[in-house]
Amino acid sequence: MCLAIPGKIVEISSDNQDSALVDVVGVRRKIDLGLLQDDKPVPGDWVLIHVGFAMSKISEQDAADQMSTLRMLGEIDGAMQEIQGYGLEDVN
């Protein structure tokens, strides 16, 4: 339920400052930056993503650690399914 997925900001949308493209181990999806408006990330920053929203900025090392935690917890498939589902890609 409370998956926190690390992703790297690739680009901020030019027409919507609250929308960013992130990369999560090669999968790219749009996420919402609206909950980080006090401390806006820029391309190259790492964030923890929960239900399509960036929740906090983290370091690259913490992002790698968080990925390995998800792997150890057996939650990596669920996390990737969640990321791939953003934008209704997998919704029928």
Please, what is the minimum distance in Å from the beta carbon of residue 43 to other proteins? 20
- From CA 24, how far away is CA 38, in angstroms rounded? 23
- From CA 38, how far away is CA 50, in angstroms rounded? 18
Which span sits near other proteins by CB under 8 A: 7-15, 20-28, 56-64? 56-64
Q: Does 87 bind other proteins (CB under 8 A)?
A: yes
Q: What angle do CA 90, 18, 82 make, to 5 degrees?
A: 25
Point out which residues bind other proteins (CB under 8 A).
Answer: 1-2, 4, 32, 34-38, 48, 50-53, 55-56, 58-59, 62, 65, 68-69, 72-74, 81-83, 85-88, 90-92
